Chain A
Amino acid sequence: NAGVTQTPKFRVLKTGQSMTLLCAQDMNHEYMYWYRQDPGMGLRLIHYSVGEGTTAKGEVPDGYNVSRLKKQNFLLGLESAAPSQTSVYFCASSPPDTDTIYFGEGSWLTVV
C-alpha cells in the first residue's frame, strides 16, 4: 500500500525555470492538498482540491498552479521559479468521511 507518493523527492532549479511536482494517492481519496514547509512557519496550504477537476487557492497560492485531471493525481506547477520558493513541499490526501489527512514524504526543492 503506497499511500501518498510524491515525485521528484529532490530537485534543484535555476531562477526562472519551470517544473511540476506530481502527487499520486492510491486510497481513492476525494480531497488532496499541497503544503509548503519552511523553518519556523509550520506548514502552509498552497492549493487544494475537493474532487477531480476542481481546485482552490489556499493560504499562499501565488507563483503556483495546480491541476487535478484524475482523482488519484494532484500536480503542483511552478511556472517561473524564484528563490523564495525554496522549500519542502508536502502533498496530502483525505477521504470525505474522516478528519485524518495522510501526508507524502515530501519534496525538497531548491531554487538558485
Chain B
Amino acid sequence: AQSVTQLGSHVSVSEGALVLLRCNYSSSVPPYLFWYVQYPNQGLQLLLKYTSAATLVKGINGFEAEFKKSETSFHLTKPSAHMSDAAEYFCAVREAGRRALTFGSGTRLQVQP
C-alpha cells in the first residue's frame, strides 16, 4: 500500500520568506500526488496535483511542487509567504486504479509578521 510521509508537523516562516513543505512517498511506481490546504474549521481544498504530465506543477495561490522520482519526493514551495498562507497542508497519494486518497499526517504552516 502507498504511504506518504510529511517531515515536520509544524513549520514557521516569516512573511516574505520561502515556504518549503516536505513530502515523500513510498512506491516503486510513480503514483498520482496531491497537495491540499485546510484553513481553520474548513474542509480541504486542492492546491495542486501531479499526474505525470510535467514534473513541476503549479497550483493556486502561488504554490508549486516538483516531482522527483529519484528522491520519491513531492515538496511544496512558495517563494514568498503571505500571512494568509497560514493553514495546515496535506500531501496525498492515489494509487493507479484506485480512487481514494491516502493522506500524510499534515504540516501546520505558521507565518510570522
Contacting residues, chain B, for A101 (C-beta < 8 A): 46, 101
Given known pairs A94-B99, A99-B32, A99-B94, the reply for A42 and B43 (CB within 8 Å) is no
The reply to whether B106 and A42 form a contact with Cβ atoms under 8 Å apart is yes
The reply to whether A40 and B43 form a contact with Cβ atoms under 8 Å apart is no
Which one of A12-20, A44-52, A66-74, A78-86 is at the B interface? Answer: A44-52
The reply to whether A40 and B44 form a contact with Cβ atoms under 8 Å apart is no
The reply to whether A90 and B44 form a contact with Cβ atoms under 8 Å apart is yes
Given known pairs A99-B32, A99-B49, the reply for A41 and B43 (CB within 8 Å) is no
Chain A CB within 8 A of B105 CB = yes
The reply to whether B100 and A106 form a contact with Cβ atoms under 8 Å apart is no
**Restricting to B22-52, which residues have a CB under 8 Å from any CB of A?**
32, 34, 41-46, 49, 51
The reply to whether B34 and A106 form a contact with Cβ atoms under 8 Å apart is no
Contacting residues, chain B, for A43 (C-beta < 8 A): 44, 90, 101, 103
Summed over the interface, the residue pairs from A and B with CB atoms below 8 Å come to a total of 52
Contacting residues, chain B, for A33 (C-beta < 8 A): 100
Q: How far is the CA of A94 from the CA of B49 in the complex (A)?
A: 14
Contacting residues, chain B, for A45 (C-beta < 8 A): 100-102
Least CB distance from A42 to B in Å reads: 4
Q: How far is the CA of A94 from the CA of B36 in the complex (A)?
A: 15
Least CB distance from A87 to B in Å reads: 14
Q: How far is the CA of A105 from the CA of B45 in the complex (A)?
A: 10
- A-binding residues in B (CB < 8 A): 4, 6, 9, 32, 34, 41-46, 49, 51, 90, 94, 99-106
Q: Which 6 A-B pairs have the closest CB atoms?
A: A103-B43, A42-B103, A43-B103, A42-B105, A103-B44, A105-B43
**Would you give 18 A-B contacts (Cβ < 8 Å), ordered by A?**
A42-B6, A44-B103, A45-B100, A45-B101, A90-B43, A90-B44, A92-B44, A99-B32, A99-B49, A99-B51, A99-B94, A100-B46, A101-B46, A101-B101, A103-B44, A105-B42, A106-B41, A106-B42
